[in-house]
Amino acid sequence: EKGPYQHFMQKEIFEQPTVVAQTLRSYLRPLERQVALPQIDFDISAVNRITIVACGTSYYAAMVAKYWFESFARVPVDIDFASEFRYRDPILPAGGLALFISQSGETADTLAALRHCKAAGQTIAVVVNVPTSTMAREADLLLPTHAGPEIGVASTKAFTCQLAVLAALAAHFAVKKGRMSAAEEAEIVAHLMEAPASLNLALEHDDEIKAMAPLIAPARDVLYLGRGPDFPLALEGALKLKEISYIHAEGYAAGEMKHGPIALIDEAVPVIVIAPSGPHFEKTVSNMQEVRARGGKIVLISDAEGLAEAGAGCLATIEMPRVHPLIAPLVYAVPVQLLAYHVACFKGTDVDQPRNLAKSVTVE
Ligand code: M6R
């Protein structure tokens, strides 16, 4: 079933161009350059607040989505870990929309939060990969990701497919709320349609990233930095590395470094900086220079332009294709997944079945 691949995780990383394209096909009308959502039985223009709840990697997709919903549609978004959500007595607006993101559709904390919101009269939307799951059955609005079965415990292709659905949904909200013109919608659709090809280009760096594994594997701690919609990618990179290679890793908002974690920096702590060209680049790079000034060893992930500007003096660089900031979180997921994967392989851990973890967490 793994075909030419050594692990399911590796196979699933490499499936991303195909499954993201497959997912986008059901959310976009390429010829008309429009987003196309399934039948929605509520008035989107009346939604004034969205609550998004998820766990783990799906929660990081929610973080990116918050950014998109707020910047495109100007709808305030409240996000939370499912395990925290119910216990803080959340304020749920009358007629509000609650959105749940889950690969499995069975995660106990997320399901409990969904039922809590349902009982509180919220409209329930679910972005889910398993169409027969409990969450899919209990949703008012089902938004499937078409990633196909994800076997590796570390979530990879489900994440990029979640992002594809959420970007289309955020654009749809923006259109319905009168915040996005037809021309802007056409532009968003065009950028999303570029994602599969850009994912393919990102995957071409596999060998190069594999060659970096021996540089990272001996580390006791690794830091990941990102900013804006790429900050969740830093968290995702750190989670991937922790769960399959057992190296302590932390993701930080690049600007938060100087408020504490910079104290950790020395030559023994690799710092992975996620900095696509775009509105956040300069600021992220100046945070990177603060790390470098303290002897930190940097792996910079950026595009050719970004690397030309800031790549000198790094321990290593990974060149991504130049992409629109909208699709950067999808494309930059690939190098952080591959880095975690190759470090774990180098260390010889059980990549698909890491210790202490289950694919679907069905206890609260
Ligand atoms: O099936 P779900 O998306 O609800 O699962 C949520 C988390 O348990 C999951 O993303 C977990 O964090 C992964 N092992 C991360 O790679």
Query: From the DSSP assignment, how many helices (H) and strands (E) are in the chain?
Result: 14, 12
Whole-number pLDDT of residue 354: 87
Ligand 1 pocket, 129 CB below 6 A?
no
- C-alpha 183 to ligand 1 mean position (Å): 36
Residue bearing the CA closest to ligand 1, atom 11: 56
- C-alpha 58 to ligand 1 mean position (Å): 6
- C-alpha 104 to ligand 1 mean position (Å): 8
Structure tokens at 152: 């590796």
Residue bearing the CA closest to ligand 1, atom 12: 56
Ligand 1 pocket, 335 CB below 6 A?
no
**pLDDT tens per residue across all 364 residues of the chain:** 899 999 999 999 999 999 999 999 999 999 999 999 988 888 898 999 999 999 999 999 999 999 999 999 999 999 999 999 988 999 998 889 999 999 999 999 999 999 999 999 999 999 999 999 999 999 999 999 999 999 999 999 999 999 999 999 999 999 999 999 999 999 999 999 999 999 999 999 999 999 999 999 999 999 999 999 999 999 999 999 999 999 999 999 999 998 988 888 999 999 999 999 999 999 999 999 999 988 899 999 999 999 999 999 999 999 999 999 999 999 999 999 999 999 999 999 989 888 888 888 888 8
Q: Please state the length of the chain.
A: 364
Q: Under DSSP, is residue 181 helix (H, G, I), strand (E, B) or coil?
A: coil
Catalytic residue, from 176, 283, 347, 359: name it: 359
- The residues near 282 (Cβ < 8 Å, ≥ 6 apart) are none
Ligand 1 pocket, 104 CB below 6 A?
yes
Contact 240, 267 (CB under 8 A): no
Ligand 1 pocket, 123 CB below 6 A?
no
How far apart are alpha carbons 251 and 82 in whole angstroms?
20
Sheet architecture: strand order including 221-226: 248-253, 221-226, 270-274, 297-303, 316-320
- C-alpha 304 to ligand 1 mean position (Å): 32
Residue bearing the CA closest to ligand 1, atom 7: 56
Whole-number pLDDT of residue 40: 86
Whole-number pLDDT of residue 1: 87
Task: Report the alpha-carbon angle 83-87-90, nearest 5.
Answer: 105
> 34 vs 72, 131, 182, 189, 197, CA distance in Å?
15, 25, 8, 6, 19
Cα 242 to chain centroid distance, Å, stands at: 16
Indicate the pairing of strand 28-29 with strand 34-35.
antiparallel
Cα 144 to chain centroid distance, Å, stands at: 16
DSSP alpha helix (H) spans, 120-258? 134-138, 157-176, 182-203, 206-216, 231-245
How far apart are alpha carbons 144 and 149 in whole angstroms?
12
- C-alpha 57 to ligand 1 mean position (Å): 5
Of 248, 65, 233, 227, the closest CA to residue 156 belongs to: 233
Question: Active site includes 66?
Answer: no
Ligand 1 pocket, 155 CB below 6 A?
yes
How far apart are alpha carbons 353 and 7 in whole angstroms?
10
Whole-number pLDDT of residue 35: 96
Ligand 1 pocket, 55 CB below 6 A?
yes
ipTM reported for the complex, 2 dp:
0.99
- C-alpha 336 to ligand 1 mean position (Å): 16
Ligand 1 pocket, 156 CB below 6 A?
no
How far apart are alpha carbons 330 and 16 in whole angstroms?
10
Contact 298, 291 (CB under 8 A): yes
Structure tokens at 241: 């590395």
- The residues near 334 (Cβ < 8 Å, ≥ 6 apart) are 13, 16, 199, 202, 203, 205, 320
Ligand 1 pocket, 56 CB below 6 A?
yes
Whole-number pLDDT of residue 47: 92
Residue bearing the CA closest to ligand 1, atom 16: 154
DSSP 322-355: P--TTTHHHHTHHHHHHHHHHHHHHHT--SSS-T
- The residues near 119 (Cβ < 8 Å, ≥ 6 apart) are none
